[in-house]
Structures are given as C-alpha cells and as structure tokens.
Structure 1
Amino acid sequence: MAIGVRAWTGEIHGTVICDVCSDSSIGPEDHGLEGAEVAVLCITKSGEVLNYQAFTNLKGIYRVAETMPESDRWDVCLARSISSFHELCTHIRNSNSGVKFSYYHPSGHSHTVRPFVYRPASVPTFCI
C-alpha cells in the first residue's frame, strides 16, 4: 500500500437457515445450516469486480471481509446462496434470490444480509 493511502476494512455476513416445517417463520425447530455455500460479488469504487466464496459455520453464519485502500472500497455487492450440503434441507425457498445492496459503511463496519432459507424436500410429520 502506498504511503498516505488510507486503509479501509469492510465485512459482509449473514445466515443460512433450515426452515424445517416450511412454514416461512423461524421457530424452535429451525436451525442454521453448517457448510452451506454462499457467493458474494462486489464491485469496488474503482470498478474492480471481486468474487468471494464463503461457507457457513456450525451456527449457519458466513462472513467475508476485506482490507484495501479507501479508493478501492466496495460500492455495490450481490450475495447469493449457492448450495446446502445438509442431508434434509436442500431446497432453497426462492432459487433465484440474490441480495443486491450498496455498501455505504465506513471502515470497520459490517453489512448484514437477510437470511437465506432452505427447506426440506418433504415436511416432517411433527410439523403437520
């Protein structure tokens, strides 16, 4: 990094959830999906396209972060769920749903993306 260039740090995070009963509401039976894949594409203020790939942790949380010169910071990003490796929850509720957002946060702040929700192929009997 050149002398006099201010560094900027940003973070994007969110969750991937299994809606066990496919009822479109988060209840005690629902849980975060470990190992789900999420892609985040960002265009910087200087026009560079950056692609990130993230996998969720035990609680279904994914996170991407970057430190770069202030002049190259993220401008617009798109987050999209790619896949779930969970044995039951493999159908994303809205398969074409990506979340596009402008990143206006100052250095050191983060943006939370709305949850990506998967559902099982068939609803368990305890939900009916």
Structure 2
Amino acid sequence: MEAMKQKMIVELIVLLMMVFVLSVSGWTGEIRGRVVCDVCGDSSLGPEDHVLEGAEVAVLCITKSGEVLNYQAFTDAKGIYTVAETMPESDRWDACLARPISSFHEHCTRLGGGSSGIKFSYNHPSGYSHAVRTFVYQPVNVPTYCI
C-alpha cells in the first residue's frame, strides 16, 4: 500500500511538472530568404539565372531586451537560407539586419547592386516567418550569349 502511495505521488509530481513546462510561454521567430545568380547581370531573373547553393548570409538581430544576436546561415539546394529561434517573449527579436557574406559558386561571385544588406523591424507574433528580399550575385564576366 505504501509503495502504491509513493508511485501515485511521483506520478502526480511528473504530471504537475509537465503542465508547468507546457504553460511556460515561449516565442518562436523565423527569417528566410533566397540567394540567386543573375547570370546576364540584367537585374531581372530569367531562365538563364539560377539559385546559389552554399551561399553564406549573416543575420544580426537585436532583441526587445537589448541583446545582440548574430546568426550565420547557408543556402540549401533551392537557394534558401533560414534562421529560426525560440526564446522567451520578453527577449524576442525587435529589429534585424540580413546581409550576404559570400558566394562559393566559381562563376558568380560579384555582389549585385542593392544587395548589400536589408534592415527590418520584426513585428511578427510567435510562429511566423519574415521573408527577406532576394540577394543577387553576378558573374565577373558576363557570358557572350547575354550580350
């Protein structure tokens, strides 16, 4: 009988701990964007252009509590990078800066105009994503079929 009481007490404590953990509110945010190669350097995306896999992007965010967070992301096979974070609501992102760092594609390494960095306020509630404008790289030598 005593063992049964102890087991019930342990189960009750575990249940209360689970309820407490689930009731703690957290905030989740996400920042995502794309990096592409503008092969002809004409500032318009066409069939000759392609996404850049492995391009490096830095995202710097300041939180509501004043903490500065620095993230590093690389693009996937679809040219998309993602930064995500879960934190207390009081520490959520307030404003961020996303900027391209480098392209590892051997033919597309020159940063296109207007792609130096993007500042933005992060006003989304928990669970939402902010889409950043596409960063563009161009080749150092434009292929002859573009001229």
TM-score scaled by structure 2?
A: 0.83
What SS does the corresponding residue of 2:70 show, helix, strand or coil?
A: strand
User: Runs of 5+ in structure 2 lacking a partner?
Assistant: 1-19
Amino acid at match of 2:97: L
Amino acid at match of 1:7: G
More helix by share: 2
**1:118 pairs with 2:132:** no
Q: What is the identity percentage for the equivalent residue pairs of Structure 1 and Structure 2?
A: 75
Select which of 86, 90, 102 maps to 1:71: 90
What is the aligned partner in structure 1 of residue 72 from structure 2? 53
Alignment deviations for residues 12-33 of structure 1 (CA, whole Å, 9 cap, x no partner): 0000010000000000111110
Larger Cα Rg: Structure 1 or Structure 2?
Answer: 2
Alignment deviations for residues 52-102 of structure 1 (CA, whole Å, 9 cap, x no partner): 000000111000000000110000000000000001000001387210000
Runs of 4+ displaced beyond 6 Å? none
Bigger RCO (CA 8 Å, 6+ sep)? 1
Aligned length: 127
Backbone CA RMSD of aligned residues: 1.5
More strand by share: 1
What is the aligned partner in structure 2 of residue 84 from structure 1? 103
**In 2, Cα distance between equivalents of 1:91 and 1:5:** 46
**1:93 pairs with 2:128:** no
